[in-house]
Structures are given as C-alpha cells and as structure tokens.
Amino acid sequence: MISIKKLLFLVSIFGCNLAAIAQSTEKIESHRIVNLQFLYNYQMPGGDWANRFDDSHAVGVGVLFKPQNNWIVSAECNFLYGNNTKENGILYNLTNSSGIINDNGGNPADIIAGLRGWSACAKIGKLIAVNPANKNHGILIQLGGGFLQHKINYNITNNNVAMLNENYIKGYDRLSNGWSVNEFVGYFFQSENRFINFYLGIDFTQAFTYNRREFNYDQLKFDKEQHQDNIIAFRFGWMIPLYLNNKGKDEFQFK
C-alpha cells in the first residue's frame, strides 16, 4: 500500500516541476473558467471503513468553476469500486461442514465479494497562485460536504445460490450511507495553450453512515450504530475548459 508520506512527496515534487516549466515572461491574468472534470481516486481506508474494505478506487465526473478572484466552486459524483473485503466471515453460516457454499446444483459456488458504492459532493476552495506570471495555476485547497453510500457486493456466477437471492442477500451486504465532509489539497494546473488542464493531490473524506439494512443475518442482531468511514485518496482530475473571458458585450471565448 502506498504511504501518505510518499504520496505527499510525489505531489510536491511534481507540482514544483510544473511550476518551473510554467514560468513565462508574459504575465497571464486569472481567467473565468468553467471546467468539465474527469476524476480518478486511489483510496486507502480508515476508521470503520478499514474494518470492512481494503484499498479501492473511484471514478467520477464533475463541474468546476474558477472566477477571476481564484475562488473555486465545484460539484461532482463518483462511482466507488474494489475487489476485496476484509469481512470474509459474513457468509460463514451458509457454508457446509467443509466450509464451502454450494450452488443450487450442489456444486461449490463461485462468489467474489467486493466494494460498490457512490458519492456526491459540493466544494468551495481557493487557488493560491505560485507564479505571478500565470495566475491560473498553483496550490488548490478545498472544503466540501456531500453524501456517501457503499455496500459489500457479491458477484455470484450465474446467480445460482438460492440462499443469496435478491431478497436474502440484503441481510449480508451491509448497505450503508450517510452525510460526509471532504478536504483536498493539491496542485492545480491550466496551461497557457489551454490543452493541458488538470489537478492532483490528496483527498480526505469522513462519512458518518448507518447500516440501512439494520438486521445482519450472519450476526443475528440489529446494527443501528453510527459508523465513521474515513477515506484517504490520491486524486487526479483532468479538465476540459470553457473560457468565459469577455471580448464584447455579448461574446465569450470557447477554446
């Protein structure tokens, strides 16, 4: 697993190199820009999330608006996925004496458990320009709030296990959701030629979730406690910009 110190080091080195490359003798003022975002997160677990899931991933889309004062407003939606779960004993009460779950034909069932979920978030932040010659790139700091949902997804070949049909499986999937807060710090870059536009950095999420199934079949008890699901992620976002600089009374630039 990649450590946080290594991620921060890589981000800082990469950002410094870009800042050096972006030096220009021509001063570029801050622009009003609407960016369409395409996002990727490599996620590391913390809190109660770490008791259930291993490292995972997220992909998403969003919109980010940067006015001339470099305050940032954005909104996004992400799909969460992973192929590993740490709660391997959830289905233990469905196994036979050999520790195997049989399908409807009496053969060993092929079951893979992993993470599936989604998140939505709105953020506000500030772009701190590191190069006075180009005010459209620098250190980006954001704070946001949103909603997060996740569950244990059981991928069953041919869906041929009667004890895990669409009704019974709800007692084992730990479907959970709740409100979340989010923080981000990283490097934001919009090139002078307008072809290379991205940001990258470290993204933190703290979600306060509840088990919406409430009753866990494997434990034979109710779960109504609040859980804190923490996620630390390395984030990369690619942006397609729409420049809104005024050329005339009713004109704008689109490049």
**H/E segment holding residue 5:** helix 4-21
For residue range 77-114, list pLDDT tens digits in order: 999 999 989 887 898 888 888 888 888 888 888 888 99
Determine, yes or no, domain membership for 181: yes
Determine, yes or no, domain membership for 186: yes
Report phi then psi at 174, rounded to 5. 55, 40
User: Which distant-in-sequence residues (6+ apart) come within 8 Å of 194 by Cβ?
Assistant: 241, 243, 255
For residue range 38-84, list pLDDT tens digits in order: 999 999 999 999 999 999 999 999 999 998 899 999 999 999 999 98
Count of domains for the chain: 1
Report the predicted TM-score, pTM, of the whole model to 2 decimal places: 0.82
Contact predicate 125/71, CB 8 Å: yes
Determine, yes or no, domain membership for 88: yes
| CATH assignment of the domain containing 176 | 2.40.160.20
Mean pLDDT of the chain: 86
Determine, yes or no, domain membership for 251: no
Determine, yes or no, domain membership for 193: yes
Q: Which residues pair with 184 in a beta bridge?
A: 142, 203
pLDDT: which is higher, 200 or 110: 200
Domain assignment of residue 238, given as a range: 4-243
Report phi then psi at 11, rounded to 5. -65, -45
Q: Is the pLDDT of residue 248 over 60?
A: no
Question: How open is the CA angle 49-54-62, to the nearest 5 degrees?
Answer: 75
Determine, yes or no, domain membership for 254: no
